Structure 1
Amino acid sequence: MKEFFKDIFEYHNHFNQKLIEQLAENENAITKRTIPLLSHSINAQQIWNARITNGQTFGVHENHTLDECKRIDTENYKQTLKIIDERELTEIIIYANSKGAEFRNSIQQILFHIANHFSHHKGQIISDLRQSGIHPIVTDYIFYKR
C-alpha cells in the first residue's frame, strides 16, 4: 500500500507542477477562481501533512502566487513521502478541523482523502481553463502511466 500511495502522490505532484506551468503561461486569461482553487488544494495537503506531523498549518483558503504554489507543492510532496516512509498507514491521527471539532482517522484514510481532494479540484481547474478558451493539459492517471 505504501508503494501505491507513493505512486499516486508522484502522479499528483507531476501534474500539479505541469498545471501550474500552464496556468502561469495563461495567467491573464484564467478565471479569478482558478488560482484560489489551486492554492486551496495545495493548502489542504499541507494542512493534512501538518496534522500528521503536529506542524504549523496554512489557512484553508490562503492564496498563493503561482511561484509559491509550485514551491509549496514540491515541499508538500516531499513531506508526504516522508510520512509514507516513516509512519504506519494504520496509525490513527487525532486532529481538529478548521472549526475546532475533533476527529480521528488513519493515515491511510487521510492520504486517500488528499488524493481525491486533488482530483476533485483539478477537475474544476481544468473546467475553468476550458471556459477561458484554453486547451488544458491531459492529467489522466493512465496517460501518466503510459
Structure 2
Amino acid sequence: MKAFFKDIFEYHHHFNQQLVDLLIREQERISARTTPLFSHVINAHQIWNARVVPEKPLGVHELHSLETCKAYDQSNHLRTLQIIADADLSKAISYRNSSGSEFENTIQEILFHVSNHTTHHRGQIISDLRQQGIEPIVTDYIFYKR
C-alpha cells in the first residue's frame, strides 16, 4: 500500500506543479475563483498532513499567491512522502475538523481522502480554464503513467 500511495502522490505533485505553472503564465486570464480554489487544495493537503504529523495548520480557505501555492505544494509533497515512509498506515488519527467536531480516521483513509479531494478540485480548475478559453493540461493518471 505504501508504494501505491507514494505513486499517487508523485502523480498529484507532478500535475499540481504543471498546473500552477500554467496558472502563473495565464494569471491575467484565469477566473476569479481559480486561485482561491487552488489555494484551498494546497491548504487542505497541508491541514491533513498537520493532523498526522502535528504542526500548525493553514486556514482551509486561506488565500495564497500562485507562487506561494507552488512552494506549499512542494512542502506538502515532501511531508506526505515522509508520512508514507514512516507511518503505520493503519494507525488511527484523532483530529478536529474546521468546525471543531472530533473524528478519527486511519492514515490510509486520510491519504485516500487527500488524493480524491485534490482530483476533484483540480477537475474544477480545469473546467474553469476551459471556460476562460485557456487550453488546460491533461492530468489523467494514465497519461502520467505513459
Calculate the TM-score normalised by the size of structure 2.
0.99
* 2:35 equivalent to 1:62: no
Within a 5 Å distance, the mapping from 1:1-146 to structure 2 comes to: 1-146=1-146
Gaps of 5+ in 1: none
User: 1: distance between equivalents of 2:137 and 2:45?
Assistant: 22
1:54 CA drift (Å): 1.4
Gaps of 5+ in 2: none
1:29 CA drift (Å): 0.4
User: 2: distance between equivalents of 1:76 and 1:54?
Assistant: 13
User: 2: distance between equivalents of 1:125 and 1:50?
Assistant: 25
User: 2: distance between equivalents of 1:14 and 1:123?
Assistant: 15
Runs of 4+ in 1 over 2 A off after TM superposition: none
1:58 CA drift (Å): 0.2
User: 1: distance between equivalents of 2:139 and 2:71?
Assistant: 20
Calculate the TM-score normalised by the size of structure 1.
0.99
User: 1: distance between equivalents of 2:102 and 2:112?
Assistant: 19
User: 1: distance between equivalents of 2:120 and 2:86?
Assistant: 28
State the SS of the aligned residue for 2:36.
helix
1:24 CA drift (Å): 0.6
Number of residue pairs the alignment of both structures matches: 146
1:132 CA drift (Å): 0.2
State the SS of the aligned residue for 1:134.
coil
